[in-house]
Structure formats: C-alpha cells, structure tokens
Amino acid sequence: MRTTHILIVDDIPQNLTAMEALLAQDGVTLLTASSGAQALELLLQYDVALALLDVQMPEMDGFTLAELMRGSSRTRHVPIMFLTASPDDPARSFKGYETGAVDFLHKPIEPRVILGKVSVFIQLHRQRLELERRNEQLERALELNQTMMAVLTHDLRTPLSAITLCADRLIDETEGSPLKRTASFVQTSAARMSRMIEQMLDFSRIRSATLVVDPQAADLGEVCDEVVAETRRAHPGRTISLSTAGDLRGSFDVVRMGQVVGNLLGNAVQHGEGAEISVHADGTRADVLAFSVRNAGRIPDALLPRLFEPFKGAFNPSTGLGLGLYIVDQFVRAHDGGVHAENSESGVRFEVQLPRRRKTALDREVS
C-alpha cells in the first residue's frame, strides 16, 4: 500500500511534536514544517492527503499559505484544516473557509476529534488514488481494444471485397439458375458485414478522438435526395417520400452528413413496420439547417433515454451492432448540432439540426 502524506505546519516545535505523536500510524508519513516557505517546498515534493495549518505564524500566516495553495494547480485539491489558539471568532472562521478550508479547529483540540477527522481524509485520499489507478488501467485497456478493433476491421475489408466481387459475378453468371438466389444471399450478407465494419471503424475513430470533419459548401437537399434514391434502390418495396423547404445550402461534411441521413433511413426501414417513410429537409431558418425522418412504430419508453448509446444490443434486442444511432449522434455533435427522437401519434420522428455555417475556433473564442 502506498504511504499517505499528511502535512503539519506550525511555528512552535512543541506543537509539531505533539501532533506527530497523536497522528502517527501505519501507512501514514507526517511531513512537518515550521513556516509557510518550508510547507510550500514540501508540497512541491509530495502528494498530500491533508494539510493542517496553524493560523498565526510569522512572515506567512496560515491564511496566506492557504491562498497560495489554492492558486497552484498542483495543490488546489489538497484539503486544508486550520488550527488556532485564538478565541472563537466567527470572522476569522469565515476567512478560513473563504480561503478553501474544510474545517477550523480551536486549541486545545480534543484528540479523538482530530483523529476522526484526519482518518476520514486519509481514506478519501486513498480512494481517490485507487480510482485514478483503475481509470488509468481502463484507459489503457480501452486504447488497446480500439487499436485492435481498427486493425481487425481494416484487415477484414480485403477478403470481404473479394467475397462481394465473387457474389456479383455469380449473380451475373447464374441468371435463371437456382444458384442465383444463393449468390444473392451472399451478396446481401457481404453488404451487411461491410456496413458493420464501417460502423466499427467509425466507432474506433470517435472513441480515439481521430474523427475528422471536413465542412464544405453543399446542399442538404441534394444529400437527402441522393441517400433516399440509394435507399429506394436497395429496398424497392418500400415507399420513401422526400420533401424540402427553403434554402438548404450550408457548410457541412457531405460524406458524414450522408451517413447520418443513411443511418436514420436504415433505422426507419428496419423498424418502420413496412409503412411509408417520410423525409423532410428544412432550410427556412437563417442560421439552421434541419431534416427529419418519420416512420411508423414506437420507441419503447425505457429505450428512449438511451437511444443514442453505443452497443444497445446489450440491453435491447437488435439485429446489428447497435452503433447506427450512436454514430448519427456523434457526427451531428461534430457539426455543433443536435439530434433528438420522439414518439407521436403518427409514429416515430427523428430530427437533426445543425448550424448553417459551422463555427471555427476563432468564432468560439469571440463568442
């Protein structure tokens, strides 16, 4: 177990000796200083669980030392407990709390009281260190998993491309043969696996903070029209309508926004109970571009608050990875926009809103 450091600052040697004798225990190292300057030197060397500061000291009193500690990123988290022999003065106590103290004790101090209080901060410090250690382990494991996921999904694309090409050729060469149906199954499964691989790659980019958004002048209506046409070709039996309003020109990443529209349409096809799907793109507002996707059905109330979480298959039955809506949410956020879903009398409605012009880093500083 790592040792825990307690800092005691008092200009009277006898007081330091008494506090050392009182607070000595296994696993705890007591650091003593007879002045504020010595205390600051110790704080630069050690991670301290608690600082016990005498208020009345020459040159630098306890209040000044506390203010200096709060002004440093290294020591501002250290809990401070003031000790004073002065009469109980509410004004001095308030000043102590204003400088960041967690407690203000008057001498002579009851041993059991200070022992109990110090023990609490020792336990809190040890718990904080343990949490930091576990977080570091989790971050390393997550980084390793993301790296493995990226490598694995990248390596799967080459053989999958070969399978897709072979399936396409089999379909062409088995026209009128029972084998054509089998080849079609292979082609459909390969396309589904390709989408899953792309989702895993996007997930890896998002979690590793390597997702790149490239805003360019584009027309949201044209993006929606292209994706709707592609979805109609993939699902010839489904009715998908598209309507537009206003000026749909803006600045956004065409590829990412196409994925957003495609994922929402794919979700509607999967859960829309075979009924008509409606897509509406709205450019009637000066600073906002928006589009919505409507389909029949209803999102379970328990699922609605967690709809945009990744891997929803862990708590909600799904035929895919459960990443489609998570990717939608993250791509829209990357454009400084928002997406929400709601149930209505006519079914389910998803709406995406994004600024017509994405803010630059300079714009954010000015605002």
The whole-angstrom separation of Cα 5 and Cα 27 is: 9
Kindly indicate the confidence band of residue 193, based on its pLDDT and cuts at 50, 70 and 90.
Answer: confident
**What confidence category does residue 226 fall into, taking pLDDT thresholds of 50, 70 and 90?**
very high
pLDDT on residue 195: 73
Question: If we measure between CA atoms, which residue out of 205, 224, 301, 302 comes closest to residue 268?
Answer: 224
> Model's pTM, two decimal places?
0.55
Closest Cα partner for 35 from 16, 61, 72? 61
Per-residue pLDDT for 310 more than 70? yes
Q: How many CB atoms within 10 Å of residue 16?
A: 18
- Residue 278, helix vs strand vs coil: strand
- Nearest CA to 282 among 318, 306, 325, 248? 248
Asked if residue 88 has pLDDT above 70, the reply is no
Most confidently modeled of 186-200, 224-238, 305-319, 353-367? 224-238
> Residue 117: which of 130, 105, 131 has the closest Cα?
105
Domain 4-109, CATH homologous superfamily name and number? Response regulator (3.40.50.2300)
pLDDT for res 101: 81
Mean of pLDDT values over 185-197? 79
Q: How many CB atoms lie under 10 A from the CB of residue 42?
A: 17
User: How far apart (Å, rounded) are the C-alpha atoms in residues 206 and 305?
Assistant: 21
Per-domain boundaries in the chain: 4-109, 140-207, 216-366
> Pick from 42, 2, 220: which is nearest to 129 by CA?
2
Question: Residues 357-364: contacts with CB within 8 Å, 24+ apart?
Answer: 357/250, 357/251, 357/287, 358/213, 358/215, 358/251, 358/252
Dmax (CA) for the chain in angstroms is: 102
Dihedral angle at the C-alpha atoms of 87, 92, 93, 94, nearest 10 degrees? 150
Mean pLDDT of 292-317: 84
* Residue for token pair 């608050």: 305
Task: Indicate whether 179 pLDDT > 50.
Answer: yes
Q: Rounded distance, CA 41 to CA 50, Å?
A: 15
Which residues does residue 135 pair with via DSSP β-bridges, in sequence order? Answer: none
- Looking at domain 216-366, its CATH class is alpha beta
Number of helices (H) and strands (E) in the chain: give both, helices first.
10, 12
pLDDT digits (tens, 9 = 90+) for 112-152: 989 999 999 999 989 988 998 898 888 887 777 667 766 76
Of all residues in the chain, what percent carry a pLDDT higher than 90? 46
Chain segment 321-361, per-residue pLDDT in tens: 678 899 999 999 999 999 999 999 889 999 999 999 876 54
CATH architecture of the domain with range 140-207: Orthogonal Bundle (1.10)
For residue 146, which phi and psi values (nearest 5 degrees)?
A: -65, -40
What are the tokens at 327? 């990717």
Residue 112 CA to residue 22 CA, distance in Å, equals 10
* Per-position DSSP letters for 93-133, written without gaps between them: HHHHHHTTEEEEEESSPPHHHHHHHHHHHHHHHHHHHHHHH
